[in-house]
């Protein structure tokens, strides 16, 4: 025990100084805690600019894609049309700089465009005529290796087709739009293995009728009358007129320009609705001929019914929709066709 | 606890001092304060996960994310770094026989940047996770919390660069001319290694933080995929800094064990040269393995093999430390006082954590364990098992020298038993939980997986044991620094022999500390 070797006395910690230090630490924490909890929601309150820009970009993309000929569906439809046989061969240019179906991209005959209608069955017979590994898929996305539409793949990027192998697969478009048949191995699509499938409306192909302009026409004295009911499926996922997706849903209404049309609407569903005829189903404000009953601001209550009478104007394809925002997209969108 | 044995001085004098021991006490107080604040968050998380189901303790997942984010940031940047710096500040100038740090004012500035950074992190309470991967942190993490996180880490990064420069200059330029660099004690060597590593590694992340800030402002798109950027680039920049940072956290703890083990084994250190060699090796190899955090991001096979070999290359150097410890203890008359208990416990857990790390670095196994609780268990076994045990042992070791009073050995033993048992129970269990597939950072888990529930409950009980141990630690620190028995300053544990370092620090404010 050599504590005597100290020349100076040892002074030891006092409780007073310890208390002072503790008071400082705890005081700082209490003040910080008060600031923090008093503003609890503020600290995580706004998106960064980059996030706002990204949201705007997404909105624009969505608007652009929905304004096109139609939105490609990500699932297969049902077979109602004709069968189209397509045979494709994966090939590469000798220096592997260009890939393609049937011929390297840029050469004649490569990536043939396929035209079909909704409900047609496109049967692809695919062989790997190249020297590297490939995989076949049909996708609705405009770039990248997927995602593939269910049941349209032959091989995958993980277990691809070896040279000489092949397979058969069929694709039935469920909705109009542009689809692509591609090689699903990442990178190959960008090198040229990318062909278009242009799908038209199919069926009675009302999409071939030019869109109506909304001009007026003098009454010719004919009277037409139709009845429509707003219906909503029990889980509120599907909306429609006179049905929610089954047969008889959204019946086409065909009239002649100048006819005096009366539409009787009823709302047997549990949701508020409003009726209108528009040129653009995505824009409830594009009403024509004052052909509307009630508005989104003061809609039809469940159980209400009423009617609207108007004179059909210039010929073309119009849409009768529910003008409550979002309902048209959920299915309340039928064709109102005006003939000469 | 901040106090030292000299004429009682006003607290303000310590706070505004630039003397290395005073700055060291400030670092220690700061670090220990945040150890407990971060620990409370950890216990909230573990208690929440005791039962499956939402809202067990925390009402929404966003709050859960914020809590584990701040827990990680606190333990790494507000506990581990400041405590290592604090002990380094107190010991390094004495070990190299210089009157103070090379730049005393810079030293104090480096410390006082810490409370500012801490306030930004704690007031914002961000939800980015401590790694703050893009793109979430760039385009979705709500402000101002995430912006405060960026500025807070920026300030802490600058602080650690400044203190690193100070350590490097102190050790290399200010050491006593009679003291060759190879004879500098190993704790000072560990501080030299980590300081050099910090100076090399930290600027990369400082740049990445600026890039993240401009990305968030929408001015640039380095990491923002919607502006043509690459989120993987952020991972590379992040892990280039923070894999070496793992060693920056770890090596001071190894250095502290080098202080404790020879003294309590009553033997000289087995091999100074191998310790120095292993520190330098780890300091270099630490830069060759950042990619092992990113095996699953689609790197090509060759790159992965390079990083795998780089990771495994850390094993021999770590093993040199362990064998050095064992050879020092071998045949010694070991006194298992509290510091020695924690040092030896730390070696055992270092070995277990290292074994888990070897498994992680093997690519095929990494794909199984990636993003699961295995990683949580592995990383915490390192952080608590080695770094925590080393630091706590060193705090017990320095306690009598700093306060002039003795802690109570029985309570310290209770703390050790609770902490050791709790660490094993909490984090070994989490390895198993990870192998059963529980992802990390989840707010809830399905009640159908009964084994997950049981393992989570075992893990949570272990965490409460650790928590109890630390409550004892805190109570001991406070009570015995004011009321403890006066310590015999030459030989507080009665193990014989004079203290290793002949020169005690002269504090210009008068008096004389144990150091």
Distance between A64 CA and the closest CA of chain B, angstroms: 17
Could you read off the pLDDT of A132-152 as tens digits, one per residue?
888 888 888 877 777 788 778
pLDDT for the residue B7 = 57
Burial B60-75 (b: 16+ CB within 10 A, else e): eeebbbbbbbbbbbbb
Determine which helix (DSSP H) or strand (DSSP E) holds B144, and give its type and residue range: strand B143-144
CA A284 to mean position of chain CA atoms: 18
CA-to-CA separations, A58 to A52, A54, A317, in angstroms, rounded: 10, 6, 29
Q: Are A253 and A302 in contact (CB under 8 A)?
A: no
What is the pLDDT of chain B when averaged over all its residues?
90
A16 part of a folded domain: no
- Domain match, A235 and A176 both: no
- Domain match, A98 and A139 both: yes
B11-483 belongs to which CATH class? Answer: mainly alpha
Indicate if the pLDDT at residue A158 is higher than 80.
Answer: no
pLDDT for the residue B101 = 92
Q: Do B123 and A51 touch (CB under 8 A)?
A: no
Indicate if the pLDDT at residue B239 is higher than 80.
Answer: yes
A22 part of contact set with chain B, CB < 8 Å: yes
Q: Determine phi and psi for A278, rounding to 5 degrees.
A: -135, 165
Indicate if the pLDDT at residue B508 is higher than 80.
Answer: no
A312 part of a folded domain: yes
A25 part of a folded domain: no
Give burial (CB, 10 Å; 0-12/13-18/19+) of B261. buried
Kindly identify which residue of chain A lies nearest to residue B479, measuring between CA atoms: A15
In order, the DSSP letters of A78-110 are ---S-EEEEEEEEEE-TTSS-EEESS-TTSTTS
Could you read off the pLDDT of A172-221 as tens digits, one per residue?
887 777 888 888 888 888 888 888 888 876 544 444 577 777 778 888 87
Q: Determine phi and psi for A194, rounding to 5 degrees.
A: -155, 105
Determine which helix (DSSP H) or strand (DSSP E) holds A255, and give its type and residue range: strand A253-256
Helix H segments across B296-408?
301-312, 314-329, 338-361, 363-369, 373-380, 389-403
- Domain match, A219 and A178 both: no
A127 part of a folded domain: yes
CA B477 to mean position of chain CA atoms: 20
Q: Are A80 and A202 in contact (CB under 8 A)?
A: yes
pLDDT for the residue A6 = 43
Q: What is the ipTM of this complex?
A: 0.72
pLDDT for the residue A72 = 66
Locate the domains of chain B by residue range. 11-483
Q: Is A304 helix (H, G, I), strand (E, B) or coil?
A: coil
- Domain match, A256 and A134 both: no
- Domain match, A101 and A170 both: yes
pTM reported for the whole predicted model: 0.69
User: Number of structural domains, chain A?
Assistant: 2
Expressed in percent and rounded to 5, the helix, strand and coil fractions of chain A are: 15, 35, 50
A72 part of a folded domain: no
Q: Do B8 and A1 touch (CB under 8 A)?
A: no
Last residue of a domain, one of A174, A200, A226: A200
- The pLDDT of B391-403, averaged and rounded, is 90
To test the contact with chain B by mutation, choose from A43, A55, A59, A61 the residue with the greatest count of B C-beta atoms within 10 A, namely A43
| Among B388, B433, B376, CA closest to B76 | B388
Last residue of a domain, one of A149, A177, A200: A200
What is the pLDDT of chain A when averaged over all its residues?
81
The residue range of the domain holding A99 is 83-200
B277's CB contacts (< 8 A; 6+ apart) are: B317, B320
To test the contact with chain A by mutation, choose from B4, B140, B506 the residue with the greatest count of A C-beta atoms within 10 A, namely B140
Distance between B58 CA and the closest CA of chain A, angstroms: 15
A47 part of a folded domain: no
Could you read off the pLDDT of B66-121 as tens digits, one per residue?
999 999 999 999 999 999 999 999 999 888 888 889 999 999 999 999 999 999 99
A68 part of a folded domain: no
Could you read off the pLDDT of B12-31 as tens digits, one per residue?
878 888 888 889 989 999 99
CATH number of the domain bearing residue A316 = 2.60.40.420
Last residue of a domain, one of A177, A200, A223: A200
A40 part of a folded domain: no
């Amino acid at each position: 025990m050599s504590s005597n070797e100290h020349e100076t006395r040892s002074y030891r910690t006092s409780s007073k100084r310890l208390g002072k230090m503790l008071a400082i630490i705890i005081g700082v924490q209490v003040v910080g805690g008060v600031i923090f909890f008093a503003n609890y929601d503020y600290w995580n309150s706004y998106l960064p600019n980059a996030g706002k820009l990204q949201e705007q970009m997404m909105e624009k993309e969505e608007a652009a894609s929905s304004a096109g000929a139609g939105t490609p569906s990500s699932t297969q439809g049902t077979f109602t049309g004709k069968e189209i046989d397509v045979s494709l061969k994966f090939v590469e240019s000798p220096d592997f700089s260009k890939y393609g179906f049937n011929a390297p991209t840029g050469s004649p005959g490569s990536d043939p465009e396929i035209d079909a209608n909704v409900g047609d069955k496109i049967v692809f017979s695919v062989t790997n005529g190249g020297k590297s590994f490939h995989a076949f898929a049909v996708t609705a996305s405009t770039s990248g290796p997927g995602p593939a539409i269910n049941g349209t793949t032959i091989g995958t990027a993980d277990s691809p087709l070896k040279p000489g192998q092949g397979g058969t697969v069929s694709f039935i478009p469920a909705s109009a739009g542009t689809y692509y048949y591609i090689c699903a191995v990442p990178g190959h699509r960008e090198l040229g293995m990318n062909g278009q499938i242009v799908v038209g409306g199919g069926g009675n192909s009302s999409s071939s009728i030019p869109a109506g302009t909304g001009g007026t026409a003098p009454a010719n004295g004919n009277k037409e009358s139709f009845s429509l009911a707003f219906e909503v499926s029990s889980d509120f996922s599907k909306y429609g007129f006179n049905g929610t997706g089954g047969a008889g849903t959204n019946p086409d209404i065909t009239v002649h320009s100048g006819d005096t049309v009366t539409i009787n609407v009823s709302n047997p569903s549990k949701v508020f609705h409003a009726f209108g005829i528009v040129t653009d189903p995505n824009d409830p404000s594009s009403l024509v001929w004052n052909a509307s009953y009630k508005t989104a601001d003061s809609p039809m209550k469940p159980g209400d019914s009423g009617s609207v009478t108007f004179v059909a104007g210039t010929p073309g394809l119009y849409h009768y929709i529910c003008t409550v925002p979002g309902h048209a997209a959920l299915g309340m969108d039928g064709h109102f066709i005006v003939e000469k | 606890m901040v106090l030292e044995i000299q004429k009682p001085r006003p607290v303000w004098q310590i706070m505004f001092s630039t003397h290395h021991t005073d700055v060291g006490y400030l670092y220690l107080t700061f670090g220990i304060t945040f150890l407990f604040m971060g620990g409370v968050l950890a216990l909230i998380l573990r208690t929440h996960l005791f039962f499956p189901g939402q809202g067990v303790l925390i009402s929404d997942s966003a709050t859960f994310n914020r809590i584990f984010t701040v827990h990680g940031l606190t333990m790494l940047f507000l506990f581990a770094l400041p405590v290592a710096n604090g002990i380094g500040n107190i010991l390094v100038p004495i070990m190299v026989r210089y009157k103070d740090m090379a730049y005393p004012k810079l030293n104090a500035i480096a410390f006082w940047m810490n409370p500012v950074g801490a306030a930004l992190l704690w007031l914002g309470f961000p939800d980015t996770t401590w790694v703050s991967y893009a793109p979430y942190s760039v385009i979705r993490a709500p402000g101002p919390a995430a912006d405060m996180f960026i500025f807070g880490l920026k300030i802490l990064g600058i602080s650690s660069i400044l203190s690193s420069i100070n350590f490097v200059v102190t050790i290399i330029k200010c050491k006593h001319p009679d003291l060759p660099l190879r004879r500098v004690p190993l704790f000072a060597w560990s501080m030299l290694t980590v300081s050099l590593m910090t100076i090399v590694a930290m600027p990369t992340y400082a740049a990445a933080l600026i890039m993240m800030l401009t990305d968030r402002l929408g001015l640039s798109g380095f990491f923002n995929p919607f502006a043509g950027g690459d989120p993987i680039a952020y991972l590379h920049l992040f892990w280039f800094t923070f894999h070496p940072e793992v060693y920056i956290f770890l090596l001071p703890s190894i250095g502290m064990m080098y202080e404790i083990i020879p003294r309590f084994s009553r033997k000289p250190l087995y091999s100074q040269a191998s310790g120095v060699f292993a520190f330098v090796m780890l300091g270099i190899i630490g830069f060759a393995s950042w990619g092992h955090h990113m095996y699953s991001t689609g790197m090509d096979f060759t790159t992965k093999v390079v990083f795998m070999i780089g990771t495994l290359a850390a094993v021999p150097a770590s093993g040199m430390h362990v064998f050095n410890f064992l050879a020092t203890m071998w045949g010694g008359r070991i006194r298992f006082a509290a510091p020695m208990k924690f040092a030896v416990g730390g070696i055992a857990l270092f070995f277990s954590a290292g074994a888990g790390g070897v498994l992680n670095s093997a690519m095929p196994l990494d794909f199984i364990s990636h993003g699961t609780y295995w990683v949580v268990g592995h990383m915490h076994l390192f952080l608590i098992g080695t770094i925590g045990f080393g630091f706590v042992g060193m705090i017990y070791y320095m306690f009598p020298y700093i306060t002039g009073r003795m802690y109570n050995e029985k309570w310290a033993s209770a703390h050790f038993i609770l902490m050791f048992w709790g660490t094993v129970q909490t984090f070994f269990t989490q390895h198993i939980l990870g192998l059963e597939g529980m992802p990390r950072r989840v707010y809830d888990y399905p009640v159908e997986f009964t084994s997950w529930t049981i393992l989570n409950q075992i893990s949570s009980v272990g965490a409460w044991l650790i928590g109890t141990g630390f409550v004892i630690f805190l109570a001991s620190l406070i009570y015995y620094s004011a009321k403890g028995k006066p310590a015999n300053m030459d030989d507080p544990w009665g193990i014989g022999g004079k203290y290793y370092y002949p020169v005690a620090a002269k504090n210009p404010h008068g008096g004389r500390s144990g150091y």
